[in-house]
Structure 1
């Protein structure tokens, strides 16, 4: 489900060969060259979501070329969607050459030759690469081809996709099989929505994809405004230019309600803060108020119903767990 390659675990003279093998098995075969072979370092953590694969990469400079001969030998027919995080990235495909600024996406198609050049502006360049079969993309290939090797800003739906991928990359090891299937579908929908918006073809997306993206946008909005005690269906619907009835229907499709979703996310934040040893001196009622619970007695009842403990008991148990290792020193 999750694999990690770190060149620093190998002798220097073995690193490049091991990386070439790891890159060929994790991505698609390419010809790789390195400007500073003796200083080569690379790390990749890959999370599989069924047919979709997400890789968090960091590496020193390299050049990657996918040639017609390599394509004839093996082509899984993938789209590769890369989010640049640090470093300088340049891509060339379908007679289009672009420098990709940090925080932008770039798409390339494994069925056509391409070249990528990565130069670090820190000790390493960093990126997230998403691989998904072309057959899963709801947009026609001719439309996607218009965006190949073009920098796509991480704004709007792109920002939502970037946040989503960063979360999946960080938490990948904790996902079960059902979570991975759900996340794969959400990932494809977000990529499709970003590309459709860039093409000004939002209406070409299937209705289910549009609904999924709406749910993810609303979820992100809720996460950003959990501390507002006035956060409710009317405000959430207005922020997304939809009716309250439509909003409730979107959440019913995910087997929950708006109120239940908001309450669960707020409780998650409260549990995190109450377990944080650096926040021990913050009163329980202040923790609750920080996340939108303005009535201390009601918060305590809700917290106990959710966890089986009062907020004070929950904090004490976690404080004891943190302090215990120190007792034997």
Structure 2
């Protein structure tokens, strides 16, 4: 099953005005766990886009000002409360209250909350959030450790902070363009990155955690994404840019069950697949798109594209054109 086929869109657009509050409460409850909400009755709009990535669910929410409240009564009536939410405020501001903390979260800031405990989340202005909903055990934190980081803006050092927000934002926005296995792999990387930020907040020593290797891998992946158009992007060039040995580079990717070369090819194929489906690239030949993303041989590109997606680049482009017509 492709990510697209499992995606769900909920919007208040076609809902009668007098039904919107109830509809919106039900949609948010299905997505984040049962909540009560307070919204302006007369003018309200909201959209939720969600899809699974293995055990993780990606969610984008856009809406007008509102407040959500998750009480002990609602938690007690929930069938599944064993999840946490990693939320990025990408537009607007939020106020989050949980575990005796009351924090204001600005645009571009990340925070975590636990669905198993009471929560009040307020958006005083139109907003957009990008979130991952995941089983709490994936963060690798004990109960007391989780309580120490909930409802608290995660503001790590600048380099790490940029990786957190860019990886999560890009994953939520573009996961539907990836093969399912790739999307799940990137989602795990984002969770690893959030865990690293949490470990920093908790004051864990780097020597006691796999932080260094995890951060190296995430930085290398970001570097690969930035240099996909370079046909000379090789393991040797990547290792040299990061002042590590080629052997150590391959070791970092071993845990991901993929080689460095396979990862580069996979990412290039995803960019080509995306461009071939876009109207603005209709004037480019397939060979030009392939060359743009680092494939020097059109025949090789066509062969690996078919292996990855089950259709030729030309067939994919025709199908996408029909869907966009």
Normalised by the shorter chain, which TM-score bucket? 0.7 to 0.9
**Equivalences for residues 313-328 of structure 1 within 5 A:** none
Q: Relative to 1, partners in 2 of residues 1:304 and 1:73: Cα closer, same or farther, differing over 3 Å?
A: closer
TM-superposed deviation, 1:173: 4.9
**Equivalences for residues 1-329 of structure 1 within 5 A:** 1-34=6-39, 36-74=40-78, 76-120=81-125, 124-153=126-155, 156-173=159-176, 182=185, 185-201=188-204, 203=206, 207=210, 214-266=216-268, 269=271, 278=280, 290-292=292-294, 299-300=297-298, 302-303=300-301, 305-306=303-304
TM-superposed deviation, 1:149: 1.8
Scaled by the length of structure 2, the TM-score of the pair is: 0.77
Residue segments in structure 2 that go unaligned for 5+ positions in a row: 1-5, 307-311
Deviation digits for residues 210-243 of structure 1 (CA, Å, limit 9, x no counterpart): 6565434322210112234553334423444533
Q: Distance in 2 between matches of 1:267 and 1:48?
A: 22
Residue segments in structure 1 that go unaligned for 5+ positions in a row: none
Q: Distance in 1 between matches of 2:282 and 2:12?
A: 40
TM-superposed deviation, 1:11: 0.5
SS in 2 for 1:146: helix
Q: Distance in 2 between matches of 1:9 and 1:191?
A: 36
Cα RMSD, aligned residues only = 3.8
TM-superposed deviation, 1:177: 6.4
TM-superposed deviation, 1:15: 0.6
* Contact 2:171/2:183 (8 A) holds in 1: no
TM-superposed deviation, 1:80: 1.8
Q: Relative to 1, partners in 2 of residues 1:272 and 1:118: Cα closer, same or farther, differing over 3 Å?
A: closer
Structure with larger Rg = 1
Q: Distance in 2 between matches of 1:287 and 1:49?
A: 28
Q: Relative to 1, partners in 2 of residues 1:110 and 1:278: Cα closer, same or farther, differing over 3 Å?
A: closer
* Greater CA drift, 130-139 or 248-257: 248-257
Q: Distance in 1 between matches of 2:16 and 2:127?
A: 21
Scaled by the length of structure 1, the TM-score of the pair is: 0.76
Q: Distance in 2 between matches of 1:173 and 1:272?
A: 10
* Contact 2:84/2:136 (8 A) holds in 1: yes
Q: Relative to 1, partners in 2 of residues 1:254 and 1:119: Cα closer, same or farther, differing over 3 Å?
A: same
Aligned length: 312
TM-superposed deviation, 1:249: 1.9
SS in 2 for 1:9: coil
Deviation digits for residues 74-113 of structure 1 (CA, Å, limit 9, x no counterpart): 4713322210011121112223222111011011223332
SS in 2 for 1:38: coil
Q: Distance in 2 between matches of 1:321 and 1:19?
A: 32
